[in-house]
Amino acid sequence: MSPLPPSMPGILVTENGGVEVLNYKTDLPVPQLKPGEVLVRNEYIGVNFIDTYFRTGLYKVPLPLIPGKEAAGTVVLSSTPDLAVGSRVAYMGDATYAELTAVPAQSAAKIPDGVSTESAAASLIQGLTALTFIRNLPLTPPPPFNKKSLPSRSSFCPASSSPHPATKFVLVHASSGGTGSLLTQILSQSPGGPYTIIGTASSPVKAQASLESGADHVIDTSTDSIVSRISEITSGKGVDVIFDGVGKDTFDLDLEVVAKNGTIVVFGSASGPVPPVDLFKLSSKNIKLMRPSMPGYLTTKEEMNGYTAELFELLRKDKVKSRVHRVYDLKDVAQAHLDLEGRKTVGKLLLRVRG
Ligand code: NDP
Q: Cα(108)–Cα(102) distance, rounded to whole angstroms? A: 10
Same domain, 272 and 311: no
Q: Share the mean pLDDT of the chain.
A: 92
> Based on the structure, what is the number of domains in the chain?
2
Q: Is the CB of 264 under 6 A from ligand 1?
A: no
Same domain, 230 and 309: no
Same domain, 26 and 114: yes
Using the 3D structure, point to which of 253, 269, 291 is the last residue of a domain.
291
Residue 130 lies in a domain: no
Q: Is the CB of 245 under 6 A from ligand 1?
A: yes
Any idea which of 180-194, 243-257, 292-306 has the lowest mean pLDDT? 180-194
Q: Is the peptide bond before 194 cis (omega within 30 degrees of 0)?
A: yes
* Runs of H (alpha helix) within 86-173: 117-135
Residue 256 lies in a domain: yes
Residue 98 lies in a domain: yes
Taking the centre of ligand 1 as the mean of its atom positions, its distance from the CA of residue 340, in whole angstroms, is 8
> Does 84 have pLDDT greater than 50?
yes
Q: Is the CB of 201 under 6 A from ligand 1?
A: yes
Backbone φ/ψ region at 347: left (φ over 0), alpha (ψ -120 to 50), beta = left
Same domain, 235 and 112: no
Residue nearest to atom 36 of ligand 1 (CA): 268
pLDDT, one tens digit per residue, over 15-28 is 999 999 999 999 99
Comparing 270 with 355, the larger pLDDT belongs to 270
Taking the centre of ligand 1 as the mean of its atom positions, its distance from the CA of residue 180, in whole angstroms, is 8
Instruction: Report the CATH number at residue 232.
Output: 3.40.50.720
Taking the centre of ligand 1 as the mean of its atom positions, its distance from the CA of residue 19, in whole angstroms, is 17
User: Domain range spanning residue 143?
Assistant: 137-291
Q: Is the CB of 188 under 6 A from ligand 1?
A: no
Taking the centre of ligand 1 as the mean of its atom positions, its distance from the CA of residue 10, in whole angstroms, is 24
pLDDT, one tens digit per residue, over 328-344 is 999 999 999 999 999 99
pLDDT for the residue numbered 79: 84
Residue 2 lies in a domain: no
To test the ligand 1 pocket, which listed residue (220, 267, 311) has its Cβ within 8 A of the most ligand atoms? 267
pLDDT for the residue numbered 11: 98
ipTM for the predicted complex: 0.99
pLDDT for the residue numbered 16: 98
pLDDT for the residue numbered 80: 87
What letter does residue 245 receive in the DSSP assignment? Answer: S
User: What confidence tier does 208 reach under pLDDT thresholds 50, 70, 90?
Assistant: very high
Residue 132 lies in a domain: no
Residue nearest to atom 29 of ligand 1 (CA): 245
Q: Is 301 buried (19+), middle (13-18) or exposed (0-12) by CB count in 10 A?
A: exposed
Comparing 38 with 137, the larger pLDDT belongs to 38
8 A C-beta contact, residue 168 and residue 160: no
- The atom number, within ligand 1, closest to the CA of 247 reads 32
Beta bridge partners of 177: 347
Residue 266 lies in a domain: yes
pLDDT, one tens digit per residue, over 277-308 is 999 999 999 999 999 999 999 999 999 999 99
Taking the centre of ligand 1 as the mean of its atom positions, its distance from the CA of residue 190, in whole angstroms, is 23
Q: Cα(256)–Cα(186) distance, rounded to whole angstroms? A: 26
Taking the centre of ligand 1 as the mean of its atom positions, its distance from the CA of residue 337, in whole angstroms, is 12
Q: Is the CB of 186 under 6 A from ligand 1?
A: no
Taking the centre of ligand 1 as the mean of its atom positions, its distance from the CA of residue 37, in whole angstroms, is 31
Q: Cα(121)–Cα(178) distance, rounded to whole angstroms? A: 12
> Does 181 have pLDDT greater than 70?
yes
Residue nearest to atom 3 of ligand 1 (CA): 177
Q: Is the CB of 270 under 6 A from ligand 1?
A: yes
Q: Cα(282)–Cα(335) distance, rounded to whole angstroms? A: 40
Residue 185 lies in a domain: yes
pLDDT, one tens digit per residue, over 29-43 is 999 999 999 999 999
- The atom number, within ligand 1, closest to the CA of 295 reads 40
Same domain, 113 and 143: no
Same domain, 113 and 46: yes
Taking the centre of ligand 1 as the mean of its atom positions, its distance from the CA of residue 202, in whole angstroms, is 12
Same domain, 111 and 171: no
Q: Cα(16)–Cα(68) distance, rounded to whole angstroms? A: 15
Same domain, 143 and 259: yes
Q: Cα(229)–Cα(69) distance, rounded to whole angstroms? A: 36
Beta bridge partners of 59: none
Average the pLDDT over 232-236 and give the result: 96
φ, ψ of residue 86 in degrees (nearest 5)? 100, -15
Same domain, 161 and 119: no
Same domain, 172 and 317: no
pLDDT, one tens digit per residue, over 211-226 is 999 999 999 999 999 9
Who contacts 252 (Cβ-Cβ below 8 Å, separation ≥6)? none
Q: Cα(228)–Cα(75) distance, rounded to whole angstroms? A: 52
What is the DSSP code string of 11-56?
EEBSS--SGGG-EEEEEEEPPPPPTTEEEEEEEEEEE-HHHHHHHH
Residue 296 lies in a domain: no
Same domain, 236 and 335: no
Q: Cα(122)–Cα(325) distance, rounded to whole angstroms? A: 10
- The atom number, within ligand 1, closest to the CA of 249 reads 15
SS3 content of the chain, % helix, strand, coil (to 5): 30, 25, 40
Instruction: Report the CATH number at residue 117.
Output: 3.90.180.10
SS3 222: coil
pLDDT for the residue numbered 10: 98
Same domain, 93 and 165: no
